Structure 1
Amino acid sequence: MSARPTVKPERPWFSSGPTAKRPGWSSQGLSHALLGRGIRAPEVVARFAHGLKLTREVLRPPEDWVLVYTPGSDTGAVEAAMWSMLGQRPVQVLAFENFGQQWAIDARDHLNLEPEVLAAPWGELPDLSRVDPAKDLVLPWNGTTSGVRMPNGDFIAADREGLVICDATSAAFAMPLPWDRLDVVTFSFQKALGGEAGIGVLAMSPRAVARLDAFVPPRPVPKVLRLRDAKGFDRSLASGSMINTFSVWTIEDWIDGLEWAKAVGGLEALIARTDANAAALGAWVDRTDWIDYLATDPANRSTTSICLKIVDSRITTLDETGRQAFVKRMKKLLEGEGAAFDVESHRNAPAGLRLWCGCTVETADVVAVTPWLDWAFARAVADLTG
């Protein structure tokens, strides 16, 4: 049996959302938050506008794109785009993990569209050659629940007629995005920069704004998803105005994360930190015989939400319920020692492990957690086999 390690990660937080806070984070750093003030007070509105300005400075979308806040984290941002923009053209959805599957269900069952769903098994990408530039496209850039990401944007036509709505919640601030091949990019505070949950961001190209101006959705749109006013796109939203009442604390926490991102070197540094974390975990996977990536193609492996499958025959011969129970046993052991929290796979994904390796995680902690994973596996096998 693997010996119990002696060194623990200093920050044993590997959840895929909300993710680890930035190194050095303290609630005292938010003591200036305008708590108790009205959401429409000029000072509060100015802070929300400042948050969008910093978001633009760090993420660097094209200058002619607009950014707005949405309720409901990334889910709310994707839903706002779908409810407000889809229906003018036929729709395709890439469904290769949980959230792509959900967007397909929403398009079919709630928007009453007939989407063409390009699906793939867990750990694989759909046939991207089937993407039709004449159709609107909804896709996750990085499969948070499958550990599979797009290798590049070459499969999207530069001269496309349809809009591309990209769920980038576990990709933004962590990997390059081909802005010229996308029209809507969504993400939430709770992913790459370790923000709090509840608020999403919707970045839109001029083509997306033109769709909002010209297209009246053939359906009632709930207020919390409404991007249009009587004239088209509600341009007040691009100044930081809020669709409904947002958390002032949450926006201050987001601003704190963005200021940290600028201080450590901006987008390139955030991507480099993420890549270093993924490489450290990958080195362990390569030398460990009981674990492997869920993503089958190395070119498509996520660097943020790294999903792993247990390949030891003593576990693979169990049914899915047995495999889930085994992972829960590992989780209990790790959390009981305070060595790692929330490393189980998504509830709708195959049983396995999932570790967040985004930029707010320290590489030293990734290295430190791997002996604990070996230890927990060995202990759980011993419990299983008696």
Structure 2
Amino acid sequence: MTAIERPAVRPANPHFSSGPCAKRPGWTIKNLENALVGRSHRSKPGKARLADAIEKTRSVLGVPADYRIGIVPASDTGAVEMALWSLLGARGVDLLAWESFGEGWVSDVVKQLKLKDARTLKADYGKLPDLGQINFDNDVVFTWNGTTSGVRVPNGDWIPADRKGLTICDATSAAFAQDLAWPKLDVVTFSWQKVLGGEAAHGMLILSPRAVERLESYTPAWPMPKIFRMTKGGKLIEGIFKGETINTPSMIAVEDYLDALDWAASIGGLKSLIGRADANAAVIAEWADRTPWVDFLAEKVDTRSNTSVCLKVVDPDVTALSDDDQAAFAKKIADLLDKEGVANDIAGYRDAPAGLRIWAGATIEVSDMRALMPWLDWAYAQAKASLKAAA
């Protein structure tokens, strides 16, 4: 193949990791100098900061006024686990899995909670399960955007308004970049370190009135860890959803989240955030369409993620290799770009098919995404030359 010269232009920001993700444009550590450090999160100003984070989340995301929003421990994982342990078991449950995190929720429900009335609908990486097979008399657990497969649900039209069960949605790489169908969702979770580039360790749990009714009318058969308890005496602990967190949050991380929310509002809110992610994803799509050695892992255009964009190498010389060698080839590309300071942490997820995963969320500048594309071709050419030399 023809040698490709090292590109002259580099992305100004090489942070294309899918989590924790790039900080907002213009961010500096000085943005956190007013963080409420050395004060109790239960003090009046501490609770005010936490309540502010909740209400700004509601405003930017357009969360309905009668939905509760709580800040919870352990990132998105903690938020999902709270929902699964607190809500499931009242009726059957359909579990959707098409990538590693969905598989994780299946494992928790089947192997840890040991629910007998659980049905799993799976699909390979790159595909969605048959959404028409879901029984909405059951509770339904799914990811809106498969972070490790780059496959998302196209919309919420497949969820009926008159469902009997609850819909429990892990939206951690979708919130703030995709249009969530709030009337169709009873539980929504996400973490701060994804689309807004916040700090890790804190999650958000959003409950519809139907989810609250379940919490107040149903008691699971298993012991409930203190960190998961959202009711007392059969009533919702409302303080959790007003800034009285279950455990101690980092007020530095809270300040950082508030900064990100203020930035989001300043650029036009959710519509602008979605537009920025769509523009970044469009740059990758235009490049992939004219590049013969690469393709999307997502098989259908309308299910491609606009945040965690997953790519596979389709060069026949590479696909003829063993799975381990294909993974080594993709890692070679990622390592070259990391060494050049062009793109950090873009190797595919360890459980996913071999390939690359490029974060295209709202904190990424489209100029940086455009600058990255020639470097992908350069790194591929370098890896291919090494492969031929070793043959």
- TM-score for the superposition, normalised by structure 2: 0.97
Match of 2:18 in 1: 16
The CA RMSD measured in Å over matched residues stands at 0.8
Q: What whole-Å deviation, never above 9, does each CA across 1:281-303 have from its counterpart, x for those lacking one? A: 11101110000000001111111
- Equivalent AA in structure 2 for residue 212 of structure 1: L
Q: Does 2:104 align with 1:93?
A: no
Which sections of structure 2, spanning at least 5 residues, go unmatched?
A: none
Query: Structure 1, unaligned stretches of length 5 or more?
Result: none
* CA contact 1:131–1:156 (8 Å) conserved in 2: no
Q: Distance in 2 between matches of 1:169 and 1:223?
A: 24
> In the alignment, residue 84 of structure 2 is paired with which amino acid?
M
In structure 1, give the amino acid aligned to 2:48. A
Q: Percent identity?
A: 51
SS at match of 2:146: coil
Q: How many residues get paired?
A: 386
Shift of residue 231, structure 1, vs aligned partner = 2.6
1:45-194 maps to which residues of 2 (within 5 A)?
A: 45-114=47-116, 115-194=118-197
On the 8 A contact 2:313/2:330 being kept in 1, the answer is: no
Paired with 2:195 and 2:307, the residues of 1 have a C-alpha distance of: 8
Counterparts of residues 217-228 of structure 1 (less than 5 Å)? 217-228=220-231
Equivalences for 1:188-267 in 2 at 5 Å? 188-267=191-270
Is the Cα–Cα contact under 8 Å of residues 334 and 356 in structure 2 kept in the other structure? no
Amino acid in structure 2 at the alignment position of 1:121: D
1:313-353 deviations in Å (ceiling 9; x for gaps): 11111111111111221122111110111111111101100
Shift of 1:34: 1.2
Q: For the residues of structure 2 that align with 1:341 and 1:225, how far apart are their CA atoms?
A: 35
Equivalence for 1:366 = 369
| Counterpart AA for 1:227 | M
Distance 2:57 2:199 in 1: 15
Cα offset, 1:243, TM superposition = 0.7
Q: Distance in 2 between matches of 1:155 and 1:55?
A: 26
The secondary structure found in structure 1 opposite 2:95 is strand
Which residue, out of 305, 309, 314, partners 1:311? 314
Task: Name the residue aligned to 2:328.
Answer: 325
SS at match of 1:117: strand
| CA-to-aligned-CA distance 1:46-98 (integer Å, 9 cap, x gap) | 10111101111101111110100111111111110000000000001110011
Question: Any conservation in 2 of the 1:141–1:149 contact (CA below 8 Å)?
Answer: yes
Deviation of 1:232 after TM superposition, in Å, equals 2.7
Secondary structure, aligned partner of 1:367: helix
TM-score by length of 1: 0.99
What is the SS of the residue equivalent to 1:76? helix
Q: Secondary structure at the match of 1:203?
A: strand
**Distance apart, 1:39 and its partner CA:** 2.4
User: SS in structure 2 opposite 1:138?
Assistant: strand
1:27 is displaced (CA, Å) by 0.7
Between the aligned partners of 2:235 and 2:108, the Cα distance in structure 1 is 23
Deviates more, 1:285-294 or 1:322-331: 322-331
| Alignment partner of 1:339 is 2:308 | no
Shift of 1:271: 0.6
Counterpart code for 1:360? T
Residue 19 of structure 2 aligns with an amino acid whose one-letter code is G
Q: Distance in 2 between matches of 1:312 and 1:328?
A: 15
Q: Is the 8 A contact 1:227 1:234 kept in 2?
A: yes
Runs of 4+ in 1 over 3 A off after TM superposition: none
Alignment of 1:279-294 (within 5 A): 279-294=282-297
